[in-house]
Amino acid sequence: MNATLSPTKVRRKVSSRRPRAGSLAPPYTQETHDAALYAIRNYLKGRTSYDSFPVSFRLIVLDSKLEVRKALTCLLSNGVVSAPLWNSEKSCFAGMFTVSDIIHLIQYYHLVSTSYHSAEQDVENFRLESLRDIEKTLGVAQPPLLRENPSSSLYDASKLLIQTHARRVPLLDHDTETGHEVIVSILTQYRLLKFISINCPKDIQQLHLSLHKLNIGTYVSDSTTSIDDAPEGYNRFHPIATATMSTLVVDVVQMFSQRGISAVPIINEDGIVVNLYETVDVIALVRNGQYQSLDLTIAEALNLRQPDFPGVVICTASDSLGTLMQLIKKRRVHRLVVVEGDKGRLLGIITLSDVLRYLIGERAIGETPEQRSGRASVSERWPSQDGVRPPSDVSENPPALDEQPQPPAEPAESTPPTVEETPAEERPSSDAAADAGESSEAAPPGSAEGP
């Protein structure tokens, strides 16, 4: 008997799954932003400068009696553009040799020398210990003789950088046997900001407010006036220093020296950013004594630029501070050009000094104005090289963080600090982590090139 089997119908069980609950992530508000700033500052107060050191590095230290030409060759051959100076006669720290010194030296010999040949001969015999005399002749401010102990908190070191307008601070200790100073390392703005971005990731995500709203950076005073409507001699991009492709290199060098800046945006007739000219570009031109290159136009000089130039890093005013910090974590960034519109019209420029000044603030956590006035200022702690106290830094962008009490942050000791190494083959810049005479090539711990 044949039987035909029909498929059995299976009734599905009605799903009893509950509807998905909404996200429990707290909304981004001004309060969460301020709380993140509070946590970052509190974290830095619990960490020392030692915590920011790379796993391994070597330190380039120059004798103050070394000729400028040899010192410049030494820096560039090691991939750095500044280094601490050592007075071998007194066995003490003698300041820093930076890109600014080279810029001042170039400007000085361009003004006083009768020919490029005589300028080249003068630089050949010029010694590092005489650089301060050049600054006096040019009438530019001399850098303060800064230093900090490696055992001091990163928060105190950050305050020192802010209040003295410095891009780096040498970390000095004392030899317990001889009592002499020992140059341990250099703390730069870039290293400090990268340390924050690596070790405070949750707090960085909370920094959601825009750069323009936080007033971080320098912006053009009038971005609406077109070139046709602007009167003769009117600078549409004031107070930002700009140049065009036809500007002479020597004119840009004068901007670097007089305004104390390390880069100038290159724009076209419509104000569109087409490139960026930096102090390290000038150093590359004259490191072989080619002072004739100073009479080149920017367009001609850019053709001589090294092919490893990383390009111009741009952002918009609506980008958040957290996004910027994430960028610092991923790549070496020293400044960002703020643009607007699809074509990239110049709107402003943001430096690491601007970012650090906002993150750290002018007042300490929980410090009242009365307490701050009673503290010794940085100028009282560290005299400058000529005995003149450096001016204090009055922040133009004080955050509202300290104006109201904030909830206590998690203890800083809960998470061990993390330090990443920066590849030594990256292009050096005037305020890079490696610019202070440090190269993060693999080296045995404790190895150093010193006096």
Q: Is the pLDDT of residue 129 over 70?
A: yes
Token pair for residue 65?
Answer: 């009696």
pLDDT at 265 over 70: yes
In a domain, 196, yes or no: yes
Q: Using the 8-state DSSP alphabet, how is residue 335 labeled?
A: E
| Beta carbons within 10 angstroms of residue 398's beta carbon | 15
Whether 238 is in a domain gets the answer yes
Buried b / exposed e along 120-159 (16+ C-beta atoms within 10 A):
beebeebebbebbebbeeeebebbbbbbbebebbbbbbbb
Query: Residue 252 domain-assigned?
Result: yes
For the stretch 279-308, pLDDT in tens is: 888 877 776 556 667 888 999 989 888 777
- 164 within 8 A of 144, measured Cβ to Cβ: yes
Using 50, 70 and 90 to split pLDDT, how confident is the model at 205? very high
pLDDT value at 448 more than 90: no
* pTM of the predicted model as reported, rounded to 2 decimal places: 0.74
Residue in 254, 294, 259, 256 with CA at minimum distance from that of residue 99: 256
Q: Contact, 271 vs 343, CB < 8 A?
A: no
Least confident of 91-100, 175-184, 232-241, 350-359: 232-241
Asked whether residue 358 carries a pLDDT value surpassing 90, the answer given is yes
DSSP string computed for 146-211: --B-TTSBHHHHHHHHHHTT-SEEEEEEE-TTT--EEEEEEEEHHHHHHHHHHH-HHHHHT--SBT
**Alpha helix positions (H), 223-297:** 249-259, 279-286
The verdict on residue 7 lying in a domain is: no
* pLDDT greater than 80 at residue 203: yes
382-426 confidence digits (pLDDT tens): 333 333 333 333 333 333 333 333 444 444 444 556 555 443 333
**pLDDT at position 35:** 94
Strands (E), 279-340: 314-315, 335-340
What SS3 class is residue 213?
A: coil
- Tell me phi and psi for residue 86, to 5 degrees: -130, 130
84-113: average pLDDT: 85
Please indicate, yes or no, if residue 9 is contained in any of the structural domains: no
Residue 10 included in any domain: no
Query: What is the pLDDT of the chain when averaged over all its residues?
Result: 76
252: pLDDT confidence band, cut at 50, 70 and 90?
Answer: very high
Q: Over the stretch 99-112, which tens digit does the pLDDT of each residue have?
A: 888 888 877 777 77
CATH code for the domain in which residue 371 is found = 3.10.580.10
Q: Tell me how many domains the chain contains.
A: 1
Closest CA to 344 of 435, 401, 266, 450: 266
Percent of the chain past pLDDT 70, that is, above it, reads 67
Q: Domain residues for 204?
A: 30-403+419-439
> What is the pLDDT, as a whole number, of residue 160?
92
Q: Which long-range contacts (CB under 8 A, 24 or more apart) does 378-382 make?
A: 378/159, 378/160, 378/163, 378/164, 379/144, 379/163, 382/144, 382/145, 382/146, 382/147, 382/160, 382/164
pLDDT of residue 144: 79
The three-class DSSP label of residue 280 is helix
Residue 14 counted as domain residue: no
Summarize the confidence of residues 22-48 as an average pLDDT: 84
pLDDT of residue 124: 62
Query: What confidence category does residue 230 fall into, taking pLDDT thresholds of 50, 70 and 90?
Result: low
The token pair at 392 is 């204090």
Residue 183 falls inside a structural domain? yes
Residues 6+ apart with CB under 8 A from 234: 225
User: Tokens 């962008």, residue?
Assistant: 397
Strands 335-340 and 314-315: parallel
Higher-pLDDT residue of 325 and 54 is 325
Q: Of 387, 345, 378, which Cα lies nearest the Cα of 163?
A: 378
